């Protein structure tokens, strides 16, 4: 069957007109996109919290990379964040991670996603990847997450294969004995030191704020090792 040039042009134009918004979005999808989550009591306006410099390092490492802060209470019962309980806040945060990552993957299915969470922000990323109240990533959205960094995660438990740091105990919201994260263990590094009173059993609150300063380069190199060309 002979197809004229005019007919071919019309066919291509029809395809483009079918969903121009979707085509435009796909064309603008970056190679890498970062979701970050802040720690307890930090305002949403500082959405990456103490993890911000690591988020910036990833954005700088890959041209065109985008980033987005997870919107959630980040509360532990304090008045400045509405008195929402820690467990309620973490559940809301986990649901927000699952919703945001799933929606972004649907829009940009070839983009490689990085998760970075600090303290409670690390816990909600942990939940989204490994299971917990609020939901869990599955299918294409889970596969799109190539690397995850938990910084001072209260879910920490000694002995997990992705742990980094000096902690040999556990956090105040530790995973149960024998826990495994079969779906995503190879994508994770979780940083916790012994002096930290939140992800471990130390008594130096300042230690909880030092993970990007101390391990930022190591975390960035891990992320780079998981991003494909």
Query: Is-contact 145 137, C-beta < 8 A?
Result: yes
**Residue 90 sits in which domain range?**
30-226
Cα end-to-end span (Å), the chain = 41
Could you tell me if residue 193 is inside a domain?
yes
Report, as an integer, the average pLDDT of 42-60: 98
Could you tell me if residue 14 is inside a domain?
no
Average predicted confidence (pLDDT) for the chain: 91
Q: What totals of helices (H) and strands (E) does the chain contain, helices first?
A: 7, 6
Q: Is the pLDDT of residue 12 over 50?
A: no
Q: Is the pLDDT of residue 20 over 90?
A: no
CA distance 83 to 210: 27
Q: Is the pLDDT of residue 59 over 60?
A: yes
Could you tell me if residue 102 is inside a domain?
yes
Residues 6+ apart with CB under 8 A from 54: 116, 149, 151, 212, 216, 219, 220
Tens-digit pLDDT profile for residues 173-184 = 999 999 999 999
Report, as an integer, the average pLDDT of 2-29: 49
Q: Is the pLDDT of residue 21 over 90?
A: no
pLDDT of residue 229: 73
Helix (H) or strand (E) holding 151: strand 145-151
Q: Is the pLDDT of residue 9 over 70?
A: no
Percent of the chain with pLDDT over 90: 87
Report, as an integer, the average pLDDT of 5-20: 43
pLDDT of residue 176: 97
pLDDT of residue 47: 97
Could you tell me if residue 94 is inside a domain?
yes
CA distance 182 to 187: 10
Could you tell me if residue 200 is inside a domain?
yes
Could you tell me if residue 6 is inside a domain?
no
pLDDT of residue 26: 58
* CA distances from residue 166 to 39, 44, 75, 83, 117 in whole angstroms, order as listed: 21, 30, 27, 33, 19
pLDDT of residue 25: 52
Q: How many domains does the chain have?
A: 1
Q: Is the pLDDT of residue 14 over 70?
A: no
Tens-digit pLDDT profile for residues 84-105 = 999 999 999 999 999 999 999 9
Could you tell me if residue 1 is inside a domain?
no
CA distance 134 to 186: 22
Catalytic residues: 119, 196, 208
Could you tell me if residue 53 is inside a domain?
yes
Beta bridge partners of 67: 34
What CATH number has the domain bearing residue 162?
3.40.50.1820
Q: Which long-range contacts (CB under 8 A, 24 or more apart) does 86-91 make?
A: 86/40, 86/120, 86/173, 87/133, 89/40, 89/120, 90/120, 90/123, 90/124, 90/127, 90/132, 90/133, 90/134, 90/173, 91/133, 91/134
pLDDT of residue 27: 65
């Amino acid at each position: 069957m002979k197809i004229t040039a005019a007919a071919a042009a019309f066919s291509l134009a029809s395809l483009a007109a079918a969903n121009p918004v979707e085509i435009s979005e796909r064309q603008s999808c970056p190679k890498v996109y970062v979701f970050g989550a802040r720690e307890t009591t930090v305002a949403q306006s500082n959405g990456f919290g103490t993890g911000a410099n690591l988020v910036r390092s990833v954005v700088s490492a890959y041209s065109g990379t985008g980033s987005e802060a997870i919107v959630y209470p980040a509360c532990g019962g304090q008045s400045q964040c509405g008195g929402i309980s820690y467990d309620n806040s973490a559940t809301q945060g986990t649901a927000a991670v699952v919703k945001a990552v799933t929606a972004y993957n649907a829009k940009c299915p070839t983009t490689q996603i990085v998760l970075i969470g600090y303290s409670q922000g690390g816990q909600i990323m942990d939940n989204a990847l490994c299971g917990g109240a609020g939901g869990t990533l599955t299918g294409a959205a889970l596969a799109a997450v190539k690397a995850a960094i938990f910084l001072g995660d209260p879910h920490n438990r000694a002995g997990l294969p992705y742990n980094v740091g000096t902690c040999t105990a556990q956090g105040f919201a530790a995973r149960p004995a024998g826990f495994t994260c079969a779906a995503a263990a190879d994508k994770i590094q979780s940083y916790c030191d012994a002096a930290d009173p939140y992800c471990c059993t130390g008594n130096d609150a300042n230690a909880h704020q030092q993970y990007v300063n101390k391990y930022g380069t190591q975390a960035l190199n891990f992320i780079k090792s998981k991003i494909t060309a």
